[in-house]
Structure 1
Amino acid sequence: MTGRRKEGDPSLVRDQVLSFMKDHARAGAQRRQTRAPSPSVAHAATAFSDLPEYKQIMAQETAGELLGIGNPFFRSHEGAASATTVVDGRSLINFASYDYLGFNRHPEVLRASKDAIERYGISASASRVVAGERPAHHELEEKLASFYEAEAAVVFVSGYLTNVTTIGTLLGPEDLILHDEFIHNSALVGAKLSGAHRRWFRHNDVAELEKILQSTEGRYRRVLVVVEGVYSMDGDIADLPKLIELKSRFGFWLMVDEAHALGVIGKTGRGTSEHTGCNPRDVDIWMGTLSKTTASCGGYIAGSKALVTLLKGAAGGFVYSVGLAPALAASARTALELIDREPERVARMQSNGKLFFELARARGLDTGVSVGCSVIPLIVGDSMRAAQLSNDLLAAGINVMPIIHPAVPEGLARLRFFITSEHTPQQIEFTVATTAEKLQALVSRNFGVGSVDIEAVLRRMAGES
C-alpha cells in the first residue's frame, strides 16, 4: 500500500534521521574542502568518523539512548550456550544459539576435539597446499560427501569465506548470477567480487526466476542460481523440485546454501534434498557451514570431483588460507556421525520447532513466512521496538536477539528465535507467552521510532560534529 505519510509516522521519522545523517556528512565534507590545508599534511585522509556509514550507526545509537534502550548486541556469554546460557551471572533460556542438535557439549564431540589437539596441536599451521594437510581434513570431507551423495567435498576455514571464494572462483565478467532477494550477505559479496552480472528474483518466486532465465538465455557464458535451503532470516524453505526442473531446461549451475538446513530438515536431517524428496545429485553445488548443527567452525562445498579439484587448486580462500584447525574438523566429523546414530535429536528439534510455531501463531504473533523449523522470526517492524523487546525479554530470563536494518529491509525488524533439540516444552511455552505479553505492552505504549525526539537527536549529532 502506498500513499502520503503523516507527521509522526515512524517511517517518516526514521527517514528524517537518515536524511539528516546524509546532509550532515555532506556538509562536513564541504567544510573540510574549504579549510586551508594543514602546513604539515597537505592531503589528510578522510576521518572514519566523517563517513556516512558511521553516521548511520551513531544515529541509531543516539536514538536508542534517548529512548533508554540498552544496546542488545555483544552480550557476553560465560559458558557454553545451547538451550540455556549464562549472561552477567544469570541463567537464561537461550534462543540465540546455532547449536540445533545440542552437540556443542556432547561428550563424543568434546573427546574428538581434545584427541585431535593432542595429536595435531591447535592449528594446521599453514595452507593445506603447502604444509597444513591433516588426516582429519580428509575424514571430514569424505563424511560430508557421503552426506550429500556427492563425489567429493572440500572444507574451508570460514563459512562466509566459502561463499565468497567459491562464487568468485567460478564466475567472472562474462557470466550471470541469479539469486533470491534474501540470500545471505556472503553470497552477495562473492557475486560482487566475481565481477559477474547479477540479478535478484523475489523471495522464493520460481516463476519470476523463470522469466529472467528466458529473457537472458544465451547471453552469458555461465549462469549460476543461488538459493538457501532454509532461509536464515525467514525460516522458510527453497522450492528445490521446481528449481531442479528449471535447471533441466535452462542448463544453469544450482547452488544451495545448507547452513540452516543440515541436520535440521528431512527425516534423518539430510537437509533440503531429503525434505523435498529430490535427488541430491541434481544440485551442482552444495554449500554449508560447520558452525551450526555440527557445533564447529568453517564451511564446505560438496559436489563433483571436478568442482572440488578446481576449488582446491584455484580458490584463493583455500589456496592462500590456513587449513581448518584439526580439532574443528574432528568435532564436525563426529557431529555428522552422531546425526546418523542419534536420530532422536533431529526428531526432537523438529517437534520443538513445530510447538513454538503453533503457539506463536495461536497468540497472534507474526512469524512471517517461516515454516516452523530451526529459524522462527517474530516480525516486529520497528527497529527500536525490536531492540527494546529483546531487552525486556532478557529481564524476564530469555535471551533472543533483534535483527534490524541493514540485516533485513527497513520495516521488517524482528526477533529471531533459533530452536534446538535441547529446549523443553515448558521453556517454549513460557517464552511464547512472555514474548506476546511484552510485545503487547510496547505496542500499547506506541514505543518505537515514532517515539524518538527527533530534535534531540539532531542536537546531539550536531554537537558531535
Structure 2
Amino acid sequence: MVAKKLSRDLKQKLIQQSLQRKLKQAETDAAKPAVSLKETTIPDKFCRFDQHPGYIQMQIINRGAEQLGVESPFFRVHEGLAGATTIIAGHELINFASYNYLNLSGHPEVNQAATQAMQRYGTSVSASRIVSGERPIHRELEHALARTYGVDDAVVFVSGHATNVSTLGYLFGAKDLIIHDEYIHNSSIVGAQLSGARRLSFPHNDLDALEHLLKERRHQFERVVIIVEGLYSMDGDFPDLKRLVQLKQQHRVFLMVDEAHSFGVLGNSGKGLRELADVDATDVDIWMGTLSKTLSGCGGFIAGESALVENLRHLSPGFLYSVGIPAPIAAAAIKSLEIMAREPDRVRRLRSISEYFITQAKALKLNTGDSRGIAIIPVILGSSVNAARISSALFDRGINVQPILYPAVPEKSARLRFFLSCEHTQEQIDTTLNTLASLL
C-alpha cells in the first residue's frame, strides 16, 4: 500500500515537473524575437491561432490537469446571486469566490434603483457620453464618488481594467517614469506599456527600495508616478500610505492608489485606505476604483482634482471612444454608496468575520501569507497540483473556493484564495477550515 502511494505521488511530481518545463519552454519560445522570413517560408505558427503561444500554453495546462486527474475549477456557472452562498449545478455551496464583500449586489434597494433607471433610460445610453450618451445619472454618480472621497470630481469608465489602461496610457509618455509595486494589477502594467513611459517595479510593499529608486532615478525623467494598490487581491495586504505620501511630496512625483478591492472594505466606514491610514484624500493625486466589488455593478472610476478629471473626460481614449456606462449600473452604484453610508455595520461585520477566519486558520497552522485578515485571505499550499486538487475536493464537499496556480503566481506560492462577505457566518468558516485541514 505504501509502495503504491509513493509510486502515485512520484508520478504526480514528475508530471508536474514536466508540465512546468513545458510551460517555461513555451514562454521562452514566445519571447524570442521575430525573424525576417521570405513569404514562401512563413511557417504555420505565424498564421494559425492554434499555434499561438498562449493557446499552446493553455493546452499544456489542460493536458497536465487531465493526466493528474484534476477537474478544471474555471468557468463554473452560478445559477443565481453569488454571495456567502451560491448555487452551481443545482447544489448550494458556501461561496468564497465572489467579491460581493458587503452583500449589496442583489440588495432589494439596489435592484429597485437599477430597475427604475432601466425603465427611464433603457439598458444602454447608446453613445459615447461626449457625443450624445450623457445622462443626469452619470454626473450624479460621479458627484457622489467625489463627495465620498472628499475630492473635486470623478469620472466613470465603462470598464475597470480599461480605467487604468486608458488613464496611464494617456497621462504619461516617453519622457516619464512609472514606478509600481511588483504585485500591481495587470491593468496598470498594460497602461504603462501603452504610455511608452519607462516602467520600473519595486519589491512588494518595500518602501525603502522605492525610496532608493526615487533618489536614483527621479531626476532623469519629467513626470513620475508611483502606483500601488489599496488592498492587494492575491495577498490581502496593503501599503503604508502615510510614508508613500511623504515620498511623493519629497520627490515631487504623482501618487496613484488602485482601490479596486479596498474601497468599501478598509476603514471604519469603508472609505478605503486613506480612512484606515488617516490621510487626507487630496494627498493622493489619482484615486482609482471599480464599481464591480462593493458598488454592485461594473466599470471603473478616477477621482481627484478637477484638472485631472476634466483632462480625462475630454481626452482619455477609453472614456472618449467608449459608450457611457449603462444607467442601471450607475443607479446600482449610487444606491450602494447610500447604503454603505447608512449601514456602516456591514463593514464592521466584514472585518469581524475576516478576523475570525484568519485567527482560526492560523490556529490550524494554515499558511495565510502576509494577509492582514480583511476580506481577502489566501491559504498558500506551495503546489499548483495540490491547490487545484484541494479546490476540487472542497467543491465536492459543498465549498466553492478558487485555486490560484502557476504561472499566475510562482509555483511555491500556489494557493486557495478566499474572498469574505459580511454575510458569512462563523459556522460556515468553521466548516470550511476544518474540511480544508482534514484534506491537508
TM-score, with structure 2 as normaliser: 0.93
Determine the structure 2 residue equivalent to 1:457: none
Determine the structure 1 residue equivalent to 2:427: 426
Superposition pairs of residues 51-450 of structure 1, within 5 angstroms: 51-438=52-439, 440=440
Counterpart-to-counterpart distance in 2, 1:49 and 1:259 = 34
Counterpart-to-counterpart distance in 1, 2:115 and 2:24 = 53
Change in Cα spacing, 1:241 to 1:101, as seen in structure 2 (3 Å) is same
| 1:339 alignment partner AA | M
**Superposition CA RMSD, Å:** 2.4
17, 37, 50: which one aligns with 2:22: 17
Tell me the alpha carbon deviations over residues 218-272 of structure 1, each in whole angstroms, 9 at most, x when there is no partner. 1101001000000011100111011001011001100000111111110111110
Mean Cα deviation higher: 255-264 or 49-58: 49-58
Counterpart-to-counterpart distance in 2, 1:324 and 1:238 = 31
- 1:23 is displaced (CA, Å) by 8.9
Tell me the alpha carbon deviations over residues 350-401 of structure 1, each in whole angstroms, 9 at most, x when there is no partner. 1011011111111111111000001111111211211111110100100111
Determine the structure 1 residue equivalent to 2:5: none
Question: Secondary structure at the residue paired with 1:73?
Answer: coil
Counterpart-to-counterpart distance in 1, 2:104 and 2:29 = 49
- 1:147 is displaced (CA, Å) by 1.0
Gaps of 5+ in 2: 1-9
Counterpart-to-counterpart distance in 2, 1:44 and 1:390 = 35
Tell me the alpha carbon deviations over residues 147-201 of structure 1, each in whole angstroms, 9 at most, x when there is no partner. 1100000000010000000001110000000000000000000001110000000
Mean Cα deviation higher: 156-165 or 379-388: 379-388
Gaps of 5+ in 1: 1-5, 441-465
- 1:46 is displaced (CA, Å) by 2.1
Counterpart-to-counterpart distance in 1, 2:38 and 2:169 = 41
| 1:18 alignment partner AA | L
Counterpart-to-counterpart distance in 2, 1:281 and 1:131 = 32
| 1:135 alignment partner AA | P
Counterpart-to-counterpart distance in 1, 2:306 and 2:25 = 54
Question: Secondary structure at the residue paired with 1:164?
Answer: helix
In the TM superposition, structure 1's runs of 4+ consecutive aligned residues that sit over 6 Å from their partners are 22-26, 33-37, 41-44
| 2:118 alignment partner AA | I
Maintained 8 Å contact 2:16/2:64: no
Question: Secondary structure at the residue paired with 2:219?
Answer: coil
Maintained 8 Å contact 2:19/2:64: no
| 2:392 alignment partner AA | N
Maintained 8 Å contact 1:25/1:50: no
- 1:15 is displaced (CA, Å) by 3.9
Change in Cα spacing, 1:44 to 1:436, as seen in structure 2 (3 Å) is closer
Determine the structure 2 residue equivalent to 1:452: none
| 1:273 alignment partner AA | R
Maintained 8 Å contact 2:268/2:275: yes
Give the paired residue count.
427
In percent, how many aligned pairs have the same letter? 48
Counterpart-to-counterpart distance in 1, 2:151 and 2:408 = 32
Counterpart-to-counterpart distance in 2, 1:92 and 1:22 = 37
Mean Cα deviation higher: 113-122 or 53-62: 53-62
Mean Cα deviation higher: 303-312 or 272-281: 272-281
Counterpart-to-counterpart distance in 1, 2:185 and 2:317 = 20
Superposition pairs of residues 446-461 of structure 1, within 5 angstroms: none
Maintained 8 Å contact 2:16/2:385: no
Counterpart-to-counterpart distance in 2, 1:210 and 1:288 = 25
- 1:83 is displaced (CA, Å) by 0.5
Counterpart-to-counterpart distance in 1, 2:241 and 2:402 = 30
Counterpart-to-counterpart distance in 2, 1:368 and 1:25 = 32
Counterpart-to-counterpart distance in 1, 2:183 and 2:140 = 33
Maintained 8 Å contact 1:25/1:55: no
Tell me the alpha carbon deviations over residues 131-153 of structure 1, each in whole angstroms, 9 at most, x when there is no partner. 11011111110110011100000
- 1:44 is displaced (CA, Å) by 9.1
Tell me the alpha carbon deviations over residues 77-131 of structure 1, each in whole angstroms, 9 at most, x when there is no partner. 0001101000000000000111100101111100100000010000011000001
Change in Cα spacing, 1:409 to 1:43, as seen in structure 2 (3 Å) is closer
Counterpart-to-counterpart distance in 2, 1:354 and 1:144 = 28
Question: Secondary structure at the residue paired with 1:381?
Answer: coil
Maintained 8 Å contact 2:44/2:51: no
| 1:293 alignment partner AA | T
Counterpart-to-counterpart distance in 2, 1:35 and 1:193 = 30
Question: Secondary structure at the residue paired with 1:416?
Answer: strand
Counterpart-to-counterpart distance in 2, 1:63 and 1:10 = 7
Mean Cα deviation higher: 244-253 or 402-411: 402-411
| 2:192 alignment partner AA | A
- 1:25 is displaced (CA, Å) by 8.6
Counterpart-to-counterpart distance in 2, 1:44 and 1:233 = 34
Counterpart-to-counterpart distance in 2, 1:350 and 1:310 = 37
Question: Secondary structure at the residue paired with 1:218?
Answer: helix
Maintained 8 Å contact 2:45/2:52: no
| 1:427 alignment partner AA | Q
Change in Cα spacing, 1:108 to 1:75, as seen in structure 2 (3 Å) is same
Change in Cα spacing, 1:176 to 1:90, as seen in structure 2 (3 Å) is same
Maintained 8 Å contact 2:19/2:60: no
Change in Cα spacing, 1:320 to 1:23, as seen in structure 2 (3 Å) is closer
Question: Secondary structure at the residue paired with 2:188?
Answer: helix
Maintained 8 Å contact 1:21/1:59: no
